[in-house]
Amino acid sequence: MTHLWPVDPLFTLSGFLVGLLVGQTGVGGGSLMTPILVLLFGVHPATAVGTDLLFASVTKSVGTLVHGYNRTVDWRIVGRLAAGSVPATSVTLLVTSQSDLNGHAAGSVISGILGTMLVLTALSLIFRQQFIALVGGRFEKLSPRWIAVLTIFTGAVLGVLVTISSVGAGAIGVTVLLLLYPRLPMAIIVGSDIAHAVPLTLVAGAGHWWLGSVDWHLLAGLLSGSLPGVIVGSYLAVRVPELILRPILAATLAVVGGRLVF
C-alpha cells in the first residue's frame, strides 16, 4: 500500500480534476481516478479500486446534493437502479472475498478487467448517439413495467462491474438511462446516475475496506481536491455542453484502457 502524509498536492489536483468531470458529466470517477492511481502513482490495482470506490461515494454524495438542489435528480430512477445494484454488489463482494485481492495474480486480473471496462466506456462515449439512434426506437415501445425491470437489471450489472473495477457507473450507466428514458433532459440523466452511484460505491467501498484494500491517507488527499471540484462541475452541468468534454474524455479512456490491457 502507498501511504503519503502530509497530503501530496498531486493527489489533491487529481481529485479536483476528476471531481470536476464527475459533477458535470457523471463520468470520470472510476474510469479516470483508478487508472491514474495505478499507472501514474503505482498503487496496487486492488487498493486503487477500493480507495476509488470510497472516493466516489463521498464525491458523488456532494454532487448529488448540488444536483438535488438544482432539481436534476429523478429519485424513482435512482431507487430502481439501487434495487439491482446493492444486492449484486453484496454478492460480488462475497465471491471476491474468497481470493487474495492484494496478491500479484489478483492485481493482474483486476488490471485486465479495468482496461477492458475503460475501452467499453470510451466506446459508449464515442458512439453513444449512433447506438441510441440504432436501438432507441425499440425501447420506446416498451411498457412502463418493462422499463422498470430493465432499470433494475441495469443496476445489477453495474453493481458487479463497479465492485470489481470501479468503472461503469458513469458512461455506461448514462448511456443505458438515455435509452430507457429518452424524454428526460441530459442534466436529469446525469444527476440521477450520480445519485445512484452513492449507495453503489458506498456498499462496494465498505466491502473493499473489509477486505483490506483501502488506503485512507490516499483517500484523504483525493477528497481534498474532489469535493470543491464536484461542486463546480455540478454547477456547470446545466451550463456547459457535454459535447465539449466527451471526445477528449473518450480518447483518454481508450488510450489508458489499451495501456492496462496490453
Q: How many angstroms separate the CA atoms of 52 and 48, rounded?
A: 6
Fill in the amino acid letter for 226.
Answer: S
Residue 261 pLDDT exceeds 70: no
pLDDT digit string, tens, across residues 178-206: 889 988 888 898 889 989 999 999 999 99
Bigger pLDDT: 36 vs 103: 36
- The pLDDT score that the predictor gives to residue 1 is 44
Its pTM surpasses 0.75: yes
Contact 107, 148 (CB under 8 A): no
251-to-139, 231, 258 alpha-carbon distances in Å: 28, 25, 11
DSSP string, 222-248: HHHHHHHHHHHHHHHTTTS-GGGTHHH
- Dihedral sign (CA 174, 179, 185, 186): positive
End-to-end CA distance of the chain: 24
Q: How many angstroms separate the CA atoms of 164 and 17, rounded?
A: 23
pLDDT digit string, tens, across residues 96-116: 888 766 666 666 777 777 777
Cell numbers that stand for 241 in this block = 455542453
- Point out the least confidently predicted range of 27-31, 50-54, 124-128, 143-147: 27-31
Bigger pLDDT: 129 vs 160: 160
With pLDDT > 90 as the criterion, what percentage of the chain qualifies?
26
